[in-house]
Structure 1
């Protein structure tokens, strides 16, 4: 239960951002958060991608901040935003009359093309560990989009015309039924599932699905292929004889190992709702090198016999699942004037079946009506309540959702629907200079920002009594982040922090900057850090890190280096670096400690958080080094045939043995690896074309203190190789260089990627043509080598010639440093804070 403040004060507003010439159609899914921590706002002709600046350390010069005069006195420090967008050029790729002359195939949306729906994939799907957007336009065409270089402020490009893939699949089924095929290809609604949690370490298997409803009354399931950068059709299921108008996924339930289940609610144009039970099974499959287990997914879909809502002819305006802990999921759906609930029969649930609640009009403006369509459905777990907003600007609250739902609680309940609507209206009055009863704050989209009292929504001021025409350029939408009810924010921050860092699960792809969003929002206030820092530090230091060293199992491989070895090595490195909940927890603790150190004002408080950050950083570094040493030991026979691989292995050994925080177990395994390399036959010298720039001294025994020194790319002076805790390096002549956070190589090129959370830099993975081709992979998994955007490929991204990672075009080519190639490719996120990389050049 939430802890409410004793004294009512003016509720804080964090953001009031005006978006000129932006029109937003009302929808419960037009405003939502991605797992990369970005707000996705669907408008009529574009998708606006807004990233709050909390926790972001790059592109600070591009931060947009609203006019502070629109914020009330005493409001929290205003949020800044990084902004980019996906523009819709209104061109149509498919002319449906060319495929069928039947009236049923006509798409009226082609007269004024606009965007109709957006669905967000889980994170960690693209080559840059980001998410993919599925866009549906009014001509019933479906496309997918992804960031090219910079997901914060850069361009998002179209990856595939999915409608063409649907056309290919439907033509193969019924090549003679033109009308039916056209209706199958005309997509009407979309929804992307989350990733199931398979256990630890989390295997890099892509198990999310994009469900696409169509005019033929069926639902098609597709899965994104990271290697091919496109969707592949999995299955199609018939659910109705009418258009499928709404889709919503529940969270995945894992009733047994390697099997997960989820429910997909399918709403039809006649008002009926059917439930599909989707089951996936993770089946092991044999591998050639046995370095990393591989899996294939089997998918089964079952249509429930009974529909939870009959064909009453009333349109569905909102459909969404709530997933209360400890019980089965609850479906919340809205029809004009009524909020409906449904829960499947379950022994663990306090209630099941259907519930319906009639809405009463809240008179806030001349346009108030309980018959308005829904514009947002949010579940607040700490209060066990669902908040539903309508497009007339009103809010409704269903209390005790998981136990005994009620729409109109007793007056003693601190959170009342009228109070939330009044708070929203108050924000509208403050933000608009002149607002009266005749002005309507039409809310087009609303969602919870922090899982608690802080919400975000978009509204457009309108005056229904004014019948003058307003063209698109005169529409102004306002994006708001504000608190809707009073609660003890200090206790909320501490509770959220303890839950997130104390119960971190194996990585599902969500970035720490997204998981910690509720905490970072409220810790921007220095006064709050001053009050809470002892309790914050206590939470951060709970559950001391014991590591997962004993469970990092990498089978020994004694063969030659092959394409299959590289493929499985990349998969294993990704799994062990990012697949453990304990190391994810350390990354989040490190993020919070650095954030509090930045915003704290007192020097002693800053030092306490700096000490905590160094501790968590040392734990993370030890884990990363242990992963590298275990993998190098497992394939020591293969790397002993390459001078460049041996050089990197010796470099890793020195870092593991000389670091001040090196654990005894880590140093012991490093010594074991050194013994393995010393007993192996020494390879011949590197290719003659690069041996002049690659000192042969690097192949000398590790005991030689100068054998690992590097040469300055500017003056050829000596750069002493320090341990990995050094973020940079200085040569004897004073030239300063940054180091790659993945390999620790000197960064003598601007073609690098930068972490958005901690600003660490890493070399880009090598170009695709210079790498071994990816091996065979199961449908939807992440086994193969991934492509890079053309802007990220080039010889300039390689380290200087003296590095054991040679340039392309020189004698050794990229194949000379195979382990480094695979390591860079496997490390798609920052190994220290776990956030996304972006390319800033």
Structure 2
């Protein structure tokens, strides 16, 4: 069987159509970047829109050099710098008041809508002055000298980590240098700022010790010796030196020891991940990384062979063969073979074992791109794509034809791979040719199938004066990588980014400048103005249905919907469609979000409530964005939806916060009077807010809301009883002050004059007013604990700009060194779990100010 998709405009396509041997194919995954912008032989849905372009200094020495983090940041590893690009679309405008945005080229219709924050992590300053660079093991003579091509001071590779390891729930970067050092890079304070720095230079000394133990054990066991060209001590030194040189690295999520199946509950406060690296000595090393650990810890090290480990690709976790274990597959390749390894975790132990299933050996064949799709491994070599089934050990090979073109490079490598639905994937080559690869290897066709390039879609969004020249120029540039935003709820309509070379050539044919071109695209069909409202309803409804299964920040899940608004032919109708979806989504949301009280033990109910929480946060985020974007022209009912959703989510926040304090409170007898008074104030403050929401003078609260607020007050009464405080007497005072001036007191004192502070809640809007004293001093309140913001450390939500105290959670090492007596403040419990990194209102990340 031959899988054929005729390319638009190619000679072969015209001949086949003339002979009646080709059938029309409706394809929406062609490559816009090859200059086919006239719309010939394309459908209405076969279109990409260019949103913004930026020229980056330098080029990459690797393919597939573009990645998206779960937080919606793009990483482009170039030789001289690691470039982090953050689209500002969807983030709160005040986040960039004091930051200079990078100038990007864009169409005049949306020239300021897709600004980016661009930060470069230069390698030279790190190489010359960073004090954390690890030491190397010296040998009498280094016969494993670095190749001349690696002598240039440059980055070689960089990978995003899973989310949550960095500050504010951000990702870290594992980067390899030209000297085969492995660095872990992260933001020091603000992931959207320019304070990214080296956090750790991974020390290879534990791996060297492992190599020495291996050789010692082999010598004691009487292993047969092999002919050696060096003295034993020199040979050991060479092996240790090679063991300290990292050639490749990859991240994977770490399954906690108590997690026996994907999706089961674990410690919500601690985020763990595994960093896997391959060395020149043929070893695989695994480090355990955590947002609670001050440094990565080497978990295990295994030898894969005598050759350099040139590449690593980690598959998804799945249940192991033994009950209570989890395992994932790791594929490595060296100069001789591609090998599959099984990483298994049972309790606190990690083991790497070679699997029996191996793809066919590939001597001298370069693997340019590979990716796991469940139990299928798809990897591309020169002119071929291989689909390997790790479960039964079978492989299906596809030949990549040139589609009738006579100017193709037969050695062109693949630059990217991405999924296309559930049964296929898209392979993009460096010359922008794209191929649809079926993932069903048991479709009845023998090995040796031939794939033909996909048709190219319409290009839109170029600057008018360059709409003819720029696509043709881009077609001559090399494609180094492309990727869709990984957290988008709809991959069909997602944002996509691509990196190309951007060379300028002199009259004699010499390259006079070498830079890279970053392009941000949106897959969007041409929609008439009369259908803009319907299009908005489809996009947002699909996004809300999908956010239940994604843990990324709301802005990353909804950003593609906002991009469609800016490029819509009728923004007014599109905004009305968004408002319509929010109106429909609020129906029944209150019951789903507040059902069965705050402490239900039903796992199904808990999951359903969490899904409702994410839907409610997404709806509030979009409604707030419509208010900022449209102002007075926002769809009717937007202000009402904002107040309803924020008030509803505030009730949920109060109930969840109080439920978290119940199990953490210490009895008054185990703490000092000041500590007991401090914790009592924390509980009283939340109880006062719940009392104000329940006793508001407006419309009577609904039954689910009343039940949830009463449960919160009941739990507060139980917590205060352990602290030696009676809530009944305090509630009588609250009723009197609410009738007189609408305020309450929670035992707080003004930081300036020590007078009592008032607490006032707007029940209709779910907001807490600033704290006031009789002397006229005013203090903003924390959006999480409701405490007055009198300290310097403050953070803000990147979506709705809610302010909160900046609570730093100590690492394990810091906690072990903390010998100060006393009980941890009960308020610290409120800043753990999901609330540590994401806002309870809109689900976006907190950003330190």
TM-score range, shorter chain: 0.7 to 0.9
In structure 2, distance between residues paired with 1:216 and 1:582: 51
- CA shift, 1:335, in A, is 1.1
In structure 1, distance between residues paired with 2:154 and 2:720: 66
Equivalent residue, structure 1, for 2:760: 722
Kindly report which structure 2 residues correspond to 1:486-525, keeping only aligned pairs within 5 A, or say none: 486=525, 497-498=540-541, 500-504=543-547, 510-524=552-566, 525=568
- CA shift, 1:374, in A, is 2.1
Q: Secondary structure at the match of 2:189?
A: coil
- CA shift, 1:709, in A, is 6.9
Q: TM-score, normalised by structure 1?
A: 0.75
| Counterpart pick for 1:80 among 91, 110, 115 | 115
Q: Secondary structure at the match of 2:621?
A: helix
Which stretches in structure 1 are left out of the alignment for 5+ residues?
Answer: 284-296, 323-327, 347-351, 411-415, 556-575, 685-696, 776-783, 786-812
Contact 2:311 2:333 in 1 (8 A): yes
Matched, 1:442 2:478: yes
Contact 1:507 1:580 in 2 (8 A): no
Shift in alpha-carbon separation, 1:835–1:594, aligned structure 2, 3 A? same
Matched, 1:482 2:514: no
Equivalent residue, structure 1, for 2:843: 834
Q: Secondary structure at the match of 2:708?
A: helix
Kindly report which structure 2 residues correspond to 1:216-227, keeping only aligned pairs within 5 A, or say none: 216-227=281-292
In structure 2, distance between residues paired with 1:578 and 1:170: 48
Shift in alpha-carbon separation, 1:398–1:680, aligned structure 2, 3 A? closer
Greater CA drift, 110-119 or 588-597: 588-597
Q: Secondary structure at the match of 1:64?
A: coil
Contact 2:168 2:191 in 1 (8 A): no
The two structures, once aligned, show a CA RMSD in angstroms of 4.4
Shift in alpha-carbon separation, 1:210–1:239, aligned structure 2, 3 A? same
Kindly report which structure 2 residues correspond to 1:320-469, keeping only aligned pairs within 5 A, or say none: 320-322=371-373, 328-345=374-391, 353-361=394-402, 368-381=408-421, 384-398=423-437, 417-419=454-456, 423=459, 430=466, 440-449=476-485, 451-452=491-492, 454-462=495-503
Matched, 1:209 2:274: yes
Matched, 1:658 2:692: yes
Contact 1:16 1:431 in 2 (8 A): no
- CA shift, 1:39, in A, is 0.7
Matched, 1:530 2:576: yes
Matched, 1:633 2:641: no
- CA shift, 1:545, in A, is 4.9
Which stretches in structure 2 are left out of the alignment for 5+ residues?
Answer: 1-24, 29-41, 217-232, 256-260, 695-700, 738-743
Equivalent residue, structure 2, for 1:240: 305
Q: Secondary structure at the match of 2:163?
A: coil
Contact 2:151 2:178 in 1 (8 A): no
- CA shift, 1:32, in A, is 0.6
Kindly report which structure 2 residues correspond to 1:729-748, keeping only aligned pairs within 5 A, or say none: 729=770, 731=772, 737-748=779-790
Matched, 1:584 2:614: yes
- CA shift, 1:479, in A, is 0.7
Contact 1:362 1:370 in 2 (8 A): no
- CA shift, 1:45, in A, is 1.3
- CA shift, 1:155, in A, is 0.8
Shift in alpha-carbon separation, 1:601–1:128, aligned structure 2, 3 A? closer
- CA shift, 1:118, in A, is 0.9
| Counterpart pick for 1:25 among 46, 50, 61 | 61
- CA shift, 1:428, in A, is 13
Q: Secondary structure at the match of 2:296?
A: strand
Equivalent residue, structure 1, for 2:799: 757
In structure 1, distance between residues paired with 2:354 and 2:668: 52
1:689-744 Cα shifts (integer Å, max 9, x gaps): xxxxxxxx999976674542755556777653023822541636776543211111
Shift in alpha-carbon separation, 1:622–1:36, aligned structure 2, 3 A? same
- CA shift, 1:610, in A, is 3.6
- CA shift, 1:594, in A, is 2.6
Greater CA drift, 755-764 or 608-617: 608-617
Shift in alpha-carbon separation, 1:232–1:189, aligned structure 2, 3 A? same
Equivalent residue, structure 1, for 2:345: 280
Q: Secondary structure at the match of 1:417?
A: coil
Q: Secondary structure at the match of 1:458?
A: strand
Contact 1:493 1:518 in 2 (8 A): no
Shift in alpha-carbon separation, 1:704–1:519, aligned structure 2, 3 A? same
Contact 1:217 1:241 in 2 (8 A): yes
Contact 2:244 2:279 in 1 (8 A): yes
| Counterpart pick for 1:16 among 13, 32, 53 | 53
In structure 2, distance between residues paired with 1:438 and 1:207: 41
Contact 1:643 1:683 in 2 (8 A): no
Shift in alpha-carbon separation, 1:658–1:630, aligned structure 2, 3 A? same
In structure 2, distance between residues paired with 1:486 and 1:85: 34
| Counterpart pick for 2:746 among 690, 708, 727 | 708
- CA shift, 1:215, in A, is 1.4
Q: TM-score, normalised by structure 2?
A: 0.75
1:432-479 Cα shifts (integer Å, max 9, x gaps): 9578689721111111245226531011233679666557xx323211
In structure 1, distance between residues paired with 2:607 and 2:804: 15
Equivalent residue, structure 1, for 2:20: none
- CA shift, 1:603, in A, is 3.9
Q: Secondary structure at the match of 2:273?
A: coil
